[in-house]
Chains A and B, each alone.
Chain A
Amino acid sequence: MTEAALNAPVPRRLRIATGDLLPILTVLLVIVAVWYLGAIRMNASWERDQAARAGIELTLPDLIGRTLTQDRPVLPAPHQVAVGLWEGVAGQPVTSRRSLVWHAWVTLSATLAGFAIGTGAGILLAVGIVHSRSMDQSVMPWAVASQTVPILAIAPMVIVVMASAGITGLLPKAVIAAWLSFFPVLVGMVKGLRMPDAMQLDLMRSWSASRPQQFWRLRLPSSLPYLFASLKVAIAAALVGTIVGELPAGATAGLGARLLSGSYYGQTVQIWAALFAAAILAAALVALIGAVERVTLKRMGLTQ
């Protein structure tokens, strides 16, 4: 997700004009069609082998029908994923271990905890960097360096180290989520807190304003558009971090665990259903922040 995409103007309400409906549906149809063709193609060789072993000759309609109804397809067809997703969400009590809602909640709680830690850390570091030249020079390189290390390499270490200290469950995952989510907040807030121009700062000086007064009354409100843009990147990053954190632990709960167990047992439908659940969750979180952003910035007169 790029910065430009996040800063693009968002319509007040997600109202789709009728003129836009045709291209949107066309793109959706093309994707679904390509997906079906891919599923048929990728699942066909197994069906042919089966048929050859049983000594049956498969007609093309037969072959297509079978490739789209396999129990463990290489690539499940869209309707199989939809059914998997529906059964995971609506077909189980939400407290069940087979419920995607339950797994999504486990992931969501760690995501929100990590997002809160990361956002807090990002803002605090940004405040320090804006107010202290030496912090600017000493902290920023480490922050950048932290993001160049692959999270897949860091995650198992965090899990193992924290487990050896007796900390398991939500917190290690939240730490990994925070690791990914503090950075966009840090970068956005450093930029945002530096937004007031020289004239605004001179005005503050002419009133002999203290640094805290300058911060609360000028720098912080000015930075909010940047904060919201970076929060949208951060929450998506926190979700990715949490899911990655659920992989190495051999965890039994969370969307990451569903991905992992799905791959152990060849349950591709389960993998895809979990993937879609994660994507829907991320979209919902980003949309939620976007809604808060629109209301806040409009009330502050920062967007017209």
Chain B
Amino acid sequence: MSVIEAQGVSLTFQTADGPVHALKDVNLTVRPGDFVSFIGPSGCGKTTFLRSIAALETPTAGRLRVNGMDPDAARRARAYGYVFQAPGLYPWRTISGNISLPLEIMGFSRADRAARIDRVMELVELSGFGGKFPWQLSGGMQQRASIARALAFDADILLMDEPFGALDEIVRDRLNEALLALWRKTGKTIGFVTHSIPEAVYLSTRIVVMSPRPGRITRIIDSPLPPERPLDIRDTPEFIALAHEVREGLREGHSYD
């Protein structure tokens, strides 16, 4: 059983300068509970692929299934929660109110909403901050609130598009650790787009290396690292070897002609 299945997925944008091949013949199977990172330079199609899974873009060729459904149907079935680079919290809503937003849209009852908000706030370690407004929280806390919002309606897939890209290194480390703990606790399938090799290696069970023009997968690396990963795992030879492999994958896909 696969959660995400892509067979020969291509996506071509028609622009004034001619067609742009954002994705070309992408094949990938994601198993339940996988933590898959997509890494590659700008224009390699990693974000486009994530957006296609979320039915925010429509592939022009190939077959893409999410939970065995086409992406549009999967979205209506609340298959995924999406986290963007910016938290995108509404300034006029409290943190609780922001987490409540998708629940209101999906028609959950008031009591159910309150229970779910409590649960996901605890999950992202924001308990007690529900009554605060976004501007009263740090950037890292805001991003945690946006992750809570994506988790609130119990989607089994979490799609994250460079969620920590705008945060500083220290906060980022802290959130990476918290995200791993959350993933182990909830068993969600996570699709994670990043620019950072250490981040991809630290988090993932599988690393998908992509390259641009046309956007394609050049290498899929299964991580030998154990699920339990303290931050200092990054100094082990296994970690360094894996990072090296990812770097090589990036280099071979990159043509400088």
Seen from chain A, the residues whose Cβ lies within 8 Å of a Cβ on chain B are 199-200, 202-209, 213, 217-218, 221, 299-302, 304
Contacts and interface: CB of A to CB of B under 8 A. Distances in A.
A209 B103 CA distance: 11
A200 B90 CA distance: 9
Contacts of A207: 101-102, 105-106, 153
Of all A-B residue pairs in the complex, the 10 with the closest CB atoms, nearest first, are A301-B91, A300-B92, A206-B82, A207-B102, A209-B105, A207-B105, A199-B84, A301-B133, A213-B105, A208-B76
A206 B134 contact: no
A205 B56 contact: yes
28 contacts: A199-B88, A200-B88, A202-B51, A202-B82, A202-B84, A203-B84, A204-B105, A205-B56, A205-B75, A206-B75, A206-B80, A206-B81, A207-B101, A207-B102, A207-B105, A208-B78, A208-B105, A209-B105, A217-B105, A221-B92, A299-B92, A300-B91, A301-B91, A301-B133, A301-B135, A302-B91, A302-B92, A304-B135
Interface residues of B, number: 24
A300 B54 CA distance: 31
Contact of A199 (B76, B80, B86, B135): B86
A302 B92 CA distance: 7
Contacts of B78: 208
Contacts of B86: 199
Contacts of A300: 91-92
B86 to A, nearest CB: 6
Contacts of A204: 105
Contacts of B90: 218, 221
A205 B58 CA distance: 14
Given A202-B82, A206-B82, A217 B56 contact: no
Interface string B53-92: 0101000000000000000000110101110101010111
Q: In the complex, which of the residues A205, A207, A221, A299 has the most CB atoms of chain B within 10 Å of its own CB atom? A: A207
Contacts of B101: 207, 217
Nearest to A302: B91
A301 B92 contact: yes
B58 to A, nearest CB: 12
A213 B102 CA distance: 10
A304 B133 CA distance: 12
Contacts of A217: 101, 104-105
Most chain B beta-carbon neighbours within 10 Å: one of A205, A206, A301: A206
Interface string B18-60: 0000000000000000000000000000000001001010000
Nearest to A221: B92
Contacts of A302: 91-92
Contact of A203 (B75, B80, B82, B153): B82
A81 to B, nearest CB: 46
Nearest to A301: B91
